[in-house]
């Protein structure tokens, strides 16, 4: 299985700040990476697919980059509704695997 490692595990930030989350794959996954946002008690929501493609309806303050083994999710200006847990997921080879999550908390 491909292991996905996110860092940091949690981050405290203020509204308006820029937040960056990193995801590293144990093997080359090309650009087959997705990012999800999950709020407490809710299902995950797709934000980014194919490493950098913004899902329809997702605000442009979210962006993704990277290829191979190293990827980044950036929130350019954190909004109150962005406080949540974020997961990366590789879609290069089965079984699909997720990172352990990064919790974005209010500073």
Partner 1 sequence: QVQLQESGPGLVKPSETLSLTCTVSGGSITSAYWSWIRQPPGKGLEWIGYVYYSGSTNYNPSLKSRVTLSVDTSKNQFSLRLSSVTAADTAVYYCARDRLDSASGMDVWGQGTTVTVSS
* Binding positions for partner 1, rule: CB under 8 A: 1, 32, 34, 36, 42-46, 48-50, 53, 55, 87, 89, 91, 94-101
Closest by alpha carbon to 33, among 81, 3, 66? 66
Q: Which is nearer to partner 1, 1 or 70 (CB)?
A: 1
Closest by alpha carbon to 68, among 21, 7, 25, 23? 25
Residue pair 53/73 in contact by the 8 Å Cβ criterion: no
Q: Which is nearer to partner 1, 16 or 43 (CB)?
A: 43
Q: Which is nearer to partner 1, 50 or 106 (CB)?
A: 50
């Amino acid at each position: 299985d491909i292991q996905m490692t996110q860092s940091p595990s949690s981050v405290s930030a203020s509204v308006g700040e820029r937040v960056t989350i990193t995801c590293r794959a144990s093997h080359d996954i090309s650009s087959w990476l997705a990012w999800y946002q999950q709020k407490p008690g809710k299902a995950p929501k797709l934000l980014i697919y194919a490493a950098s493609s913004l899902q329809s309806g997702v605000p442009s303050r979210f962006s993704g980059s990277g290829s191979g083994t190293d990827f980044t999710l950036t929130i350019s200006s954190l909004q109150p509704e962005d406080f949540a847990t974020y997961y990366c997921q590789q879609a290069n080879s089965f079984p699909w695997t997720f990172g352990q999550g990064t919790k974005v908390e209010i500073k």
